[in-house]
Amino acid sequence: MGQAASTLDFRQRARRRLPHFLFEYIDGGSYAETTLRRNVADLEKVMLRQRVLRDVGSIALSTTLFGQRMALPVALAPIGLAGLNARRGEVQAARAAADAGVPFCLSTVSACPLAEVRRGTDQPFWFQLYMIRDRAFMADLLGEAKAAGCSALVFTVDMPVPGSRYRDYRAGLAGAAGRVGALRRAWQALRRPRWMWDVGVHGRPHQLGNVAPVLGKNTGLEDFFAWMRNNFDPTVTWRDLDFVRRNWDGPLIIKGILDAEDAREAAALGADGIVVSNHGGRQLDGVPSSAAALPAIAAAVGERITVLADGGVRSGLDVVRMLALGAHGVLLGRAWAYALAADGEAGVRRMLALVEAEMRVAMALTGCTDLSAVTRDILVNGAAVAETGFDPL
């Protein structure tokens, strides 16, 4: 196969190169995956106004978010277990993002710990936090993030309990406990010799670096999922932002907002930004797509705090669509996970280059020469979006 031309190409390569259980973990959503499909389908329905005979000989894509100058209005979203997609995968992705001039966000449940990622790149990166019952451990983890020079904290709030993801059970990542589950995954890994050599043999140690102090070493994936079920805190409320703020004095971004009232609450409590997100369709199935929820949320708080969005973004064209719907920036999730699994650091670099090129084409053909022009005015139904919000149906 030749050089990847789109995220779909990376997805097909990832399917061929990853053990089945890991590909299904990346690719799947919760329950019947209705919201997962909506995320993509609703973005595809966003119609842009094609404008002609405009001087688009020079197009500027840079922006500043949370005090950080970025070459593109995108960041690599936090993805759990991403380091298993390629050898020490989060380090590779962080290097690719730094070279492209965009932020990388490390998940709490990454394979590579904060210190390792910091050693792997000379640029600051973001850190994503889940609320864990053990507040002392959380305080220590935030201290590590500050010591690693993380420039922003992404606090994910839409996972008080893990979603029910059928594909993980069917593929043997969850549910098949003990020796049976381990043998099933081992067989799948052996059928992917390139991955087995790169990650299984040379990618050690195989542990979740940031939570290893509480999870322990030499634990299996069943132990990890059991730990998540037992230690993610379903009692967390807005009051717990006080704890986060006491232990973190940098930019704070609340991820997992789908309702305008929650967005207003985040702004009122001093968040610097929010991410309009349904966790990639991996939590509550049947909720609106991020694209459908975004306009009303942006209208509610977009002048007060920075609004980011993710979900269903598979191209630079989709980035432009999200910006036109009201986002100030966009998080790329599965796009970089597929690319990392397909071709490692080079794949992530290629993916970001494709996104940039696709953004330039989309902006040129809508008559936009800089990001300030990418507003609802470039939407075919821009006036309706302004008045009633986006209705993809």
pLDDT in tens, 294-328: 999 999 999 999 999 999 999 999 999 999 999 99
Domain ranges of the chain: 7-47+64-358
62-89 pLDDT, tens digit each: 999 999 999 999 999 999 999 999 999 9
Whether the bond into 78 is cis, omega within 30 of 0: no
Q: What is the pLDDT of residue 213?
A: 80
Per DSSP, 308 falls in state E
pTM: 0.95
199-208 pLDDT, tens digit each: 999 888 877 8
Does the structure show a pLDDT above 80 at 243? yes
Concatenating the DSSP letter of every residue in 225-288 gives HHHHHHHB-TT--GGGHHHHHHH--S-EEEEEE-SHHHHHHHHHTT-SEEEE--GGGTSSTTSP
Phi-psi region of 216 (alpha: psi -120 to 50; beta: other; left: phi over 0): left
Q: Rounded to whole angstroms, how far apart are CA atoms 242 and 191?
A: 48
Per DSSP, 304 falls in state T
Q: What is the pLDDT of residue 383?
A: 59
Query: How do the residues of the chain divide into helix, strand and coil, expressed in percent and rounded to 5?
Result: 50, 10, 40
* 20 among known catalytic residues: no
pLDDT range class, residue 393, cuts 50, 70, 90: very low
Name the residue type at position 377: D
CATH number of 7-47+64-358: 3.20.20.70
Pick the catalytic residue from 20, 202, 279, 328: 279
Does the structure show a pLDDT above 60 at 163? yes
pLDDT above 70 coverage of the chain, percent:
94
